[in-house]
A and B are shown apart, each in its own frame.
Chain A
Amino acid sequence: MKKNKSPLPRFPYWLLKKTHILDLEEGYSGDIEEEFQNIFIHKGRRKAVQWIWIHALLALPKSIKLYFLGWREMMKNYLKSAFRYMGRHKSYSFINITGLAIGIACCLLILSWIRYELSYDRFHTNSREIYRVISEFHSPGSKINYTATSQAPLAAALKETYPEIVNWARALRWDWKIGKQGEQYREFVWFVDPTFLDMFTFSFIQGDPNTALSVPNSVILTESLAKKQFQNENPMGKTVIGGQRTPFIVSGVIKDIPQNSHLDMNAIIPLEITTKAGHNLTEWEGYNYKTYIQLQKGISGEDMEQKVKHILTKYSPETKTTIQLQPLTKIHLYALEGGGLIIYIYIFLTMAVFILLIACVNYMNLSTARASTRAKEVGVRQVVGARREQLISQFLSESFLLSLIATSIAIVLAYIFLPLFQRLVGKEIQLSYSFETFVFLCGTTALTGLLSGSYPAFVLSQVKPVKILKGIFRSRTEGVIFRKILVIAQFTLSIFFIFGTIAISQQIHLIQNKNLGYDNENIICLDAVGGIFQNYSAVKNILMNNPNIVGMTVVDSFLDEPNSSATSDVISWEGQNAGESIPWLIVRGVDFDFQKTFGMKMAEGRFFSEEFPSDSKEGMVVNEAAVKAMNMDSPIGKKFHFWDYDGTIIGVIKDFHFRSLHKSIEPMVLKIGINLQKIAIRIKAEDIAATIKFIETEIKRIVPGYSFEFEFLDEKLNRLYIAEERMENITLAISFLAIFISCLGLVGLAAYTAEQKTKEIGIRKVLGASIGNITMMLYKDYLRWITAANLIAWPLGFYFVSRWLRNFAYKIDINIWIFVLSSVLVLFIALLTVSFQSIRAATAHPIDSLRYE
C-alpha cells in the first residue's frame, strides 16, 4: 500500500524555517509541509525532496541575511551591556584592559624581534643552498673544539670529489684600516674568492659583479664607505690604501649589507692579494679561511655532511679533525658549541606567551570572582528567554570586545616603546605592517578573547535563574579552587622571572669582575699601521719619557680577538708519549714588554728578556693550561715545536683570560715577534685625557699621516658580553611587567575579597578583633598562595637557570639566597599591593559595614 504521508527531509526543512516569518511561522511551515505531501502523493518522494531542496537553496541568501540581522541586534545589545558594565566598574575594566594591552604589546615587540633574528642571511637568493664548513677538532679526554674556518685548499678538494657542490668561495675577515691616503679608518674588510659574488646576493650600484674582483688589486666598497671616503665624487677607479701601503682600485660599489646578515663587510677585496703578503692558498696547514659551499638545489645538507665528514683523512691520514656543514641561515642563530641566540629566542618567546597568559588569568580571575555582581543580569536574561549558548556568546563577545580594545591600545604602546625596545636589544627592529602581523594581531585578539572569556562564560551561564533571583547565588567551590590555581600560577611565573633576573645579573657581574689574570684597566689599544713599525723604538722612547705612561708593547692581536692557532699535527714536545697530543694551541705573538705592560704573573721560569739574545729566536713561554695539557713535570728547558718553530720553554706564565669567559682557558704558547700588528700602552689613571693627547701628537709628529684611533681594553672586553647584558635588560623588563600585571590582578582580587568579607569583618570587629587581626586574616590567603607558588617556582627556576649557565665556562653557584630573595621580593610586593585594600577594610567602622545591606 502506498503511504499517504512521507517524513520531511530535515536539513532543507530546517533551512527553510530559518527564514523566520515572524508571527506567520506556523502557517508558513505548515504550508511547506502540506505542499511537500501533495507533491509526494502525486509525483513521488523523489520529486518532493527535490522540490524542498530547490526551495531551501533558493531561499538561502535570505536566510543568511535574516540570521545576521538577528545576530546584529543581539550583538548590539551585548555590546551595550558590556560597555555599560565597563563604565560602571571602571577600575575593574582598567585592570583588565591595561594588563591585556601590556601583555599584547610585549608579545608584539618580542615577536618582531624574533622575526628579525630569524631573518638573518635569508635575503640571499641561494640562502637555502649555501653552507659554511666547520672544522671539528677531536681529542681524547677533552671537549670537541670547533672553528668556523678551514684549510685553504679544502673547498677546491671538496668540489673535485663531489659534483653536488655547485660553487665554493673562501673568505678572510679582517678588521683593517682602509681609505684614501691619510684618511684610513678601521673597517671590516673581507678578502674573498671572486665566486663569492655569485653565491651571495649583493646589489651593485656601480661596477660589474662578473669582473669586479678579477684584478687582484681591486676593491668593492659599500655605499656608505664610498660616501664616507669620496663624498659625492664618483669612487669608481679611485685608489684607496689598505693596511700600511697596499693600493687598491675601486671596481664596484654595492648597497650596504643589511644589518641582518653575518656578512658584516664594508669592503670586499680579492683573496688572491693575500698571497703577496705571504699567504699560501694551496697549503693544508692552518685553519684560517671561512669556506662556503653551495650545493645543488634539492640536495640535503645533512646527507652531504655525512659524505664529507671524514674527507680530511684523505689528505692527512692521521688527522682527528672532521668537518661539518652549517647552513647559512643557522649561522646567526646557533653557536658552534651548541646553544647560541636560539636559546634566547626560545626563552623570550616563552616569556612573551607567559606574560600574555598572566594577563588573561587576570581577566578570568576577576570576572569569575565578580560573577555574583552580574548574576542578576544573567538571571533576568535567562527568565526573559536567553538560552545558554546566548549567554556564552554574550560573555565571549564581551571578552572579545575587551581584547579588541586592549589590542588597539597595545599597538599604540608598541609604537611608543619601540625606540626603547630597539635600544634594549640593540637592533633596528621595525614593527612590520605585513600580512603576518595582521594575522598575528587577529589571532592574539581572538585567542585572548577566547581564553579569557571562556571560563567566565562557562561559569556564569551555568547558574540557575531562580536561585539568582532569590538572591542565593554563590560562586561555586570549583570556581574558587580554579581561581586559587590561577593566582598560584601567576605568582609562580613572577617568582620564576625574578629568580632568572637575579641569576642573570649575578652571572654578568661575575664575568665583568672576574680576575682575568692581568690588569685590563687603563690600557689603550692602537693599530700599528702606516709606518709606525719602522719608527717603533723612536716612538717608544719618546712616549716612555712621559711619567704618565707606564708601559708599552706590541702584540699580534688584542685579547678578545681571534688568535692564530696550531693544531695537534704541527705540535710536538720533548718527552711526548705516543698518543698524547694538544688538540688546539693558541699562538700569540708578543714582544719583550708584554708581561710587564699587561701585568701577568709567571708561574715558573722567566719571561722573554732582551738580556738573553737567544730568546727572540728560540725562546717560548707557555701557559699553565698548556703544561697541563702536555702533562709535563718540569717544563723549563724542555724542547717545544709548533708550526715551523723549534724552541725551548723558558717560562710558564700564569693562566690569563684572553677570550670571552664563555670559554675556558685554552693551551697557549707565546713567542717573540710573530705577526705583530697592534700596540698596547698602559697609562696612569691620572690625567688620562692629557696623556692620550700627548700620545696622539707625538705619534703624529714621528709618523705623519697616522690616523689615531684608540680604544680602552676594558671597554673592548665588555663588548664580548653584550648579548648577556641585553638578555639581562630584557628579562628585567619582562619580569617587571609580569609582576606589574600580576599585581594589577591582585589589586582587583583584593578589592573584591575585602568587599565580600565586609560583613564578616564588621562582626569580627564588633566582637573585639583588632585591626591587626583582621589584616592578618585578609593576608592569610595570599600568604598561602605565594608559599605554594614558591614551592613550584624554585625547582623550575633552578632547572632553567642551571641550563642557561651551561653556556659559560665560569659560572655562579645558584645560592639559596637567590631563592629567598626572589620569594621575599614577590611576597613583599604582593602584600604591599594587597595591604591598601585590606587595611581600608580593616579600619572601616563596623557600623558602616554591618549597615550596608
Chain B
Amino acid sequence: MKELTKLEELVMIAIWKLSEEAYGVEIKNKVKEISGKEYFYNTLYTTFHQLVQKDYITKHFGEPTAVRGGKRKVFFQLTKRGLKMLETAFDRQSQVWDGITKESFKKGKA
C-alpha cells in the first residue's frame, strides 16, 4: 500500500478528531492546532480531492448558511479504508520511533 504524505496524514487525523464537525474551516484550524502550520484552502482542498479520489474519506453536504454566502458546508468523514490507512501509518511511525523516548534526547543517545 502506498504511504500517506505528511499533509494527507495531518488532514486525515484532523478529520478523525473533528468527527461530526469536519469541514474546511474547522479542518484548517485543527491542522494548524496539531501541526502549528497554516495551510491555504486551495492546498487543503487539493488534498481533500485526492483523499476522496483514493477513497480514504467521503464527503457529504450540510445546510447552507448566511455567513457562507448561502453556500453549503462540505463535511468529510474517514472511510474504513482511510481508518485502516491511518492505523498502518501509526504502526509504521511507532515502529520507527520504537524505543526512543524524551529521555533519549536528553541523554543524547538512543
Which residues of A approach B to under 8 Å, CB–CB? 5, 8, 16, 19, 21-24, 26-35, 37-38, 55, 58-59, 62
Do the beta carbons of B46 and A27 come within 8 Å of each other?
no
Do the beta carbons of B41 and A28 come within 8 Å of each other?
yes
Task: For the complex, give the distance between the alpha carbons of A22 and B59 in Å.
Answer: 13
Task: For the complex, give the distance between the alpha carbons of A35 and B23 in Å.
Answer: 12
Q: For residue B49, which residues in chain A have a CB less than 8 angstroms away from its CB?
A: 21-24
List residues of B (17-72) whose CB comes within 8 Å of A's CBs.
23-25, 28, 40-42, 45-46, 48-49, 52, 59, 61, 65-69, 71-72
Q: For residue B65, which residues in chain A have a CB less than 8 angstroms away from its CB?
A: 34
Do the beta carbons of B74 and A24 come within 8 Å of each other?
yes
Which residues of B approach A to under 8 Å, CB–CB? 23-25, 28, 40-42, 45-46, 48-49, 52, 59, 61, 65-69, 71-74
Do the beta carbons of B48 and A30 come within 8 Å of each other?
no
A263 → chain B closest CB, angstroms? 68
User: Contact partner of B67 among A19, A29, A34, A58, CB < 8 A?
Assistant: A34
Q: For residue B45, which residues in chain A have a CB less than 8 angstroms away from its CB?
A: 19, 21, 24, 27-28
Q: Given contacts A27-B23, A38-B25, are A33 and B42 in contact (CB under 8 A)?
A: no
Task: For the complex, give the distance between the alpha carbons of A755 and B78 in Å.
Answer: 64
Do the beta carbons of B40 and A55 come within 8 Å of each other?
yes
Q: For residue A59, which residues in chain B have a CB less than 8 angstroms away from its CB?
A: 40-42
Do the beta carbons of B59 and A32 come within 8 Å of each other?
no
User: Contact partner of B74 among A5, A8, A26, A35, CB < 8 A?
Assistant: A26
Top 8 nearest A-B pairs (CB, nearest first) are: A27-B74, A31-B24, A30-B71, A30-B68, A21-B45, A19-B42, A33-B69, A59-B42
**Given A5-B67, A24-B52; 16 other pairs, CB 8 A cutoff:** A5-B66, A24-B49, A24-B74, A26-B71, A27-B71, A27-B73, A29-B69, A30-B24, A30-B68, A30-B69, A34-B24, A34-B25, A35-B25, A55-B40, A59-B42, A62-B42
Do the beta carbons of A27 and B66 come within 8 Å of each other?
no
Task: For the complex, give the distance between the alpha carbons of A58 and B39 in Å.
Answer: 11
Q: Given contacts A24-B49, A27-B23, A28-B45, are A58 and B68 in contact (CB under 8 A)?
A: no
Task: For the complex, give the distance between the alpha carbons of A616 and B86 in Å.
Answer: 124
When C-beta atoms are compared, the residue in chain B nearest to A29 turns out to be B71
Task: For the complex, give the distance between the alpha carbons of A211 and B53 in Å.
Answer: 86
User: Contact partner of B46 among A8, A21, A26, A34, CB < 8 A?
Assistant: A21
Q: For residue A62, which residues in chain B have a CB less than 8 angstroms away from its CB?
A: 42
Do the beta carbons of B40 and A58 come within 8 Å of each other?
yes
Determine chain B's interface SS by DSSP, over half rule: helix
Q: Given contacts A27-B72, A38-B25, are A32 and B41 in contact (CB under 8 A)?
A: yes
When C-beta atoms are compared, the residue in chain A nearest to B68 turns out to be A30
Q: List 9 A-B contacts (CB under 8 A).
A: A8-B69, A26-B61, A27-B61, A27-B74, A30-B69, A31-B24, A35-B25, A37-B67, A62-B42
A64 → chain B closest CB, angstroms? 12
Task: For the complex, give the distance between the alpha carbons of A62 and B45 in Å.
Answer: 13
Q: For residue A19, which residues in chain B have a CB less than 8 angstroms away from its CB?
A: 42, 45
Q: For residue A27, which residues in chain B have a CB less than 8 angstroms away from its CB?
A: 23-24, 45, 59, 61, 71-74
When C-beta atoms are compared, the residue in chain A nearest to B69 turns out to be A33
Q: Given contacts A22-B49, A24-B49, A26-B74, are A31 and B42 in contact (CB under 8 A)?
A: no
Task: For the complex, give the distance between the alpha carbons of A38 and B68 in Å.
Answer: 10
B9 → chain A closest CB, angstroms? 20
User: Contact partner of A35 among B28, B46, B52, B71, CB < 8 A?
Assistant: B28
Q: For residue A35, which residues in chain B have a CB less than 8 angstroms away from its CB?
A: 25, 28, 41
Task: For the complex, give the distance between the alpha carbons of A55 and B43 in Å.
Answer: 11
Q: For residue B74, which residues in chain A have a CB less than 8 angstroms away from its CB?
A: 24, 26-28, 30
Q: For residue A30, which residues in chain B have a CB less than 8 angstroms away from its CB?
A: 24, 68-69, 71-74
When C-beta atoms are compared, the residue in chain B nearest to A35 turns out to be B25
Q: Given contacts A27-B23, A30-B68, A37-B67, are A21 and B42 in contact (CB under 8 A)?
A: yes
A476 → chain B closest CB, angstroms? 42
Do the beta carbons of A16 and B67 come within 8 Å of each other?
no
Q: For residue A29, which residues in chain B have a CB less than 8 angstroms away from its CB?
A: 69, 71
User: Contact partner of A33 among B23, B46, B67, CB < 8 A?
Assistant: B67
Task: For the complex, give the distance between the alpha carbons of A26 and B59 in Å.
Answer: 12
Do the beta carbons of A31 and B41 come within 8 Å of each other?
yes
Q: For residue A16, which residues in chain B have a CB less than 8 angstroms away from its CB?
A: 41-42
Task: For the complex, give the distance between the alpha carbons of A21 and B43 in Å.
Answer: 10
When C-beta atoms are compared, the residue in chain A nearest to B46 turns out to be A21
Q: Given contacts A21-B46, A21-B49, are A33 and B71 in contact (CB under 8 A)?
A: yes
A17 → chain B closest CB, angstroms? 10
Task: For the complex, give the distance between the alpha carbons of A151 and B70 in Å.
Answer: 93
When C-beta atoms are compared, the residue in chain A nearest to B67 turns out to be A37
When C-beta atoms are compared, the residue in chain B nearest to A63 turns out to be B42
Task: For the complex, give the distance between the alpha carbons of A8 and B67 in Å.
Answer: 11
Q: For residue A38, which residues in chain B have a CB less than 8 angstroms away from its CB?
A: 25
When C-beta atoms are compared, the residue in chain A nearest to B29 turns out to be A35
Do the beta carbons of A26 and B72 come within 8 Å of each other?
yes
Task: For the complex, give the distance between the alpha carbons of A298 and B52 in Å.
Answer: 73
Q: For residue B68, which residues in chain A have a CB less than 8 angstroms away from its CB?
A: 30-31, 33-34
A65 → chain B closest CB, angstroms? 11
Task: For the complex, give the distance between the alpha carbons of A19 and B45 in Å.
Answer: 10
Task: For the complex, give the distance between the alpha carbons of A21 and B42 in Å.
Answer: 7
Task: For the complex, give the distance between the alpha carbons of A55 and B41 in Å.
Answer: 8
B62 → chain A closest CB, angstroms? 9
Interface centre among A22, A29, A30, A58 (most CB of B within 10 A): A30
Task: For the complex, give the distance between the alpha carbons of A21 and B59 in Å.
Answer: 14
When C-beta atoms are compared, the residue in chain B nearest to A13 turns out to be B69
Q: For residue A28, which residues in chain B have a CB less than 8 angstroms away from its CB?
A: 24, 41-42, 45, 74
Interface centre among A5, A27, A38, A58 (most CB of B within 10 A): A27
B27 → chain A closest CB, angstroms? 9
Task: For the complex, give the distance between the alpha carbons of A35 and B27 in Å.
Answer: 12
Task: For the complex, give the distance between the alpha carbons of A19 and B69 in Å.
Answer: 19
Q: For residue B40, which residues in chain A have a CB less than 8 angstroms away from its CB?
A: 55, 58-59
Q: For residue A22, which residues in chain B have a CB less than 8 angstroms away from its CB?
A: 49
Do the beta carbons of B48 and A24 come within 8 Å of each other?
yes
Task: For the complex, give the distance between the alpha carbons of A38 and B25 in Å.
Answer: 10
Q: For residue A55, which residues in chain B have a CB less than 8 angstroms away from its CB?
A: 40-41
User: Contact partner of B23 among A8, A21, A31, CB < 8 A?
Assistant: A31
Do the beta carbons of B28 and A31 come within 8 Å of each other?
yes
A800 → chain B closest CB, angstroms? 63
When C-beta atoms are compared, the residue in chain B nearest to A19 turns out to be B42
Q: For residue B73, which residues in chain A have a CB less than 8 angstroms away from its CB?
A: 27, 30-31
Q: For residue A33, which residues in chain B have a CB less than 8 angstroms away from its CB?
A: 67-69, 71
User: Contact partner of A24 among B28, B59, B67, CB < 8 A?
Assistant: B59
Task: For the complex, give the distance between the alpha carbons of A30 and B24 in Å.
Answer: 9
Task: For the complex, give the distance between the alpha carbons of A28 and B42 in Å.
Answer: 8
Q: For residue B42, which residues in chain A have a CB less than 8 angstroms away from its CB?
A: 16, 19, 21, 28, 59, 62
When C-beta atoms are compared, the residue in chain A nearest to B27 turns out to be A31
Task: For the complex, give the distance between the alpha carbons of A5 and B41 in Å.
Answer: 21
Task: For the complex, give the distance between the alpha carbons of A31 and B74 in Å.
Answer: 9
B88 → chain A closest CB, angstroms? 26
A755 → chain B closest CB, angstroms? 50
Task: For the complex, give the distance between the alpha carbons of A27 and B65 in Å.
Answer: 12
B65 → chain A closest CB, angstroms? 8
Q: For residue A24, which residues in chain B have a CB less than 8 angstroms away from its CB?
A: 45, 48-49, 52, 59, 74
Task: For the complex, give the distance between the alpha carbons of A31 and B65 in Å.
Answer: 11
Task: For the complex, give the distance between the alpha carbons of A27 and B61 in Å.
Answer: 8
Task: For the complex, give the distance between the alpha carbons of A195 and B104 in Å.
Answer: 93
Task: For the complex, give the distance between the alpha carbons of A37 and B65 in Å.
Answer: 12
When C-beta atoms are compared, the residue in chain B nearest to A37 turns out to be B67
Q: For residue B67, which residues in chain A have a CB less than 8 angstroms away from its CB?
A: 5, 33-34, 37
When C-beta atoms are compared, the residue in chain B nearest to A8 turns out to be B69
When C-beta atoms are compared, the residue in chain B nearest to A58 turns out to be B40
Task: For the complex, give the distance between the alpha carbons of A22 and B74 in Å.
Answer: 13
Task: For the complex, give the distance between the alpha carbons of A34 and B62 in Å.
Answer: 14
A411 → chain B closest CB, angstroms? 44
Task: For the complex, give the distance between the alpha carbons of A5 and B65 in Å.
Answer: 12
Task: For the complex, give the distance between the alpha carbons of A33 and B64 in Å.
Answer: 12
Task: For the complex, give the distance between the alpha carbons of A34 and B24 in Å.
Answer: 10
Q: For residue A21, which residues in chain B have a CB less than 8 angstroms away from its CB?
A: 42, 45-46, 48-49
